[in-house]
Amino acid sequence: MVKRAFLKSWTTINIFLLATCVLTVNAFSQDPDFHIYLAFGQSNMEGNARPESMDLSNVDSRFQLLPAVNWSDGSRTKGTWTTAVPPLCRSSTGLCPADYFGRTLVDSLPERIKIGIINVSVAGCAMDMFMKDKYQNYIKGEASWMKDIANEYGGNPYGRLVEMAKLAQKDGVIKGILLHQGETDAYKGGWEEKVKSVYDDLIDDLGLDASKVPLLAGDLLSSSGAVKNLPNVLPNSYVISSQGLSGADQYHFTADSYRKFGKRYAEIMLKILREQEETGSIEKRPAIVITPGYGLNCRNGIGSVSFKIPERAFVSLKVYTLSGKEITELAGRVYVAGMHTLSIGKGSISTGIVILKMRSGSFVMARSFLGE
């Protein structure tokens, strides 16, 4: 009897503890309509242009910022959501691509959807600054001003980005990662592999699904072959063209170009969202062209892909798994200028999310879609 009473009592305690744990886990709930984006890089993602009056007014409250540091004037607090009036990185930074990325998404998506940005960027840094196994040695060899910036992030910018991202995941869902970096090291070789390493760490550390969280990387003011090559190394990445944008100096964009650049990032993300069919009410629109004269379009459930080129050129069109393994080649020859449509043979592509990559001359574009 004593044993039976003890077991009954112990069972009751376990049920209570289990219920308590469930209540604790569900003390917060992710809002699927709160879309969160992580932004990182160097000075262009920090924001190098002074915000103008048009940038400081009429910012929709649906566009939110989660500061990764405390503002020096006390106006913003680390880890507390606030309306995303620039600057979005630190109090000493300026207008950046994330500004008009967020504004464009808010203007384009249904009113129920909010957009959140977390921006952790360090002027002048190499990609090593965000690599878990390299950042400490890298920081040691850098100038004191860069160390000061890193120290604002607790000496570990990557760690601060993950810290803020985990906090944000209590409120919403991480939808993508924005990158602008490379002026320091994209011309030295191996940059693409470093970006992939940081991306893979973010996916693992935040428990994300790589098939649903793309990385959008902006090209440099002086177009970089390494940046354009990124989709070859990281299939679920997209390169945002800097063609036609103006520079304030050798490396940095003007305020107007930051606005245009941010819109280009947003256009690609809107296209990805439509492909994923995660915002069901978004209107179907024609393919978005990253570089003038070029385009690539594919839709889930449709047995064809189409592409556009501005002049006669060789076009390569291949399908890859998310891990980068080639599945099949759809095109590999010279085409005349204009729009072309290719059929996808039934059963030629395995079921699941795959990456379609197009290359023509210096133009490279990758798109994800659902294979059948």
Per domain, the residue ranges of the chain are: 1-27, 34-276, 295-371
Q: Taking a C-beta distance cutoff of 8 angstroms, is the pair 127, 74 a contact?
A: no
User: Is the pLDDT reported for residue 154 higher than 80?
Assistant: yes
State the catalytic residues: 43, 249, 252
Q: What is the DSSP string of 12-24?
A: HHHHHHHHHHHHH
DSSP state of 130: G
Q: What is the pTM of this model?
A: 0.71
How far is it, in rounded angstroms, from Cα 113 to Cα 196? 29
Assign 9 a pLDDT band (cuts: 50, 70, 90).
very low
Residue with the two structure tokens 């449509």: 341
How far is it, in rounded angstroms, from Cα 112 to Cα 134? 41
Mean pLDDT of the chain: 85
Composition of the chain by helix, strand, coil, percent to 5: 35, 25, 40
How far is it, in rounded angstroms, from Cα 64 to Cα 88? 10
Instruction: Please give the radius of gyration of the chain, using alpha carbons only, rounded to the nearest integer.
Output: 23
Summarize the confidence of residues 224-243 as an average pLDDT: 93
Q: pLDDT of 319-347, one tens digit each?
A: 887 667 788 888 999 999 888 888 876 66
Instruction: Characterize the bridge pairing of strands 215-218 and 304-309.
Output: unpaired
Percent of the chain with pLDDT over 70: 82
Q: pLDDT of 51-81, one tens digit each?
A: 999 999 999 999 999 999 999 999 999 999 9
Phi, psi of 225 (to 5 degrees): -65, -35
CATH architecture of the domain with range 295-371: Sandwich (2.60)
How far is it, in rounded angstroms, from Cα 17 to Cα 14? 5
Cα 201 to chain centroid distance, Å, stands at 14
Q: pLDDT of 163-193, one tens digit each?
A: 999 999 999 999 999 999 999 999 889 999 9
The domain 34-276 having CATH identifier 3.90.660.10: the answer here is no
190-196: Cβ within 8 A, 24+ apart: 191/127, 191/226, 191/227, 192/226, 192/229, 192/230, 192/232, 192/233, 192/234, 193/233, 194/127, 194/128, 194/131, 195/127, 195/230, 195/233, 195/234, 195/237, 196/233, 196/234
How far is it, in rounded angstroms, from Cα 318 to Cα 339? 17
How far is it, in rounded angstroms, from Cα 215 to Cα 127? 15
Closest CA to 356 of 298, 279, 289: 298
Q: Give the containing element (helix H, strand E) for 317.
A: strand 313-320
Residue with the two structure tokens 């917060």: 28
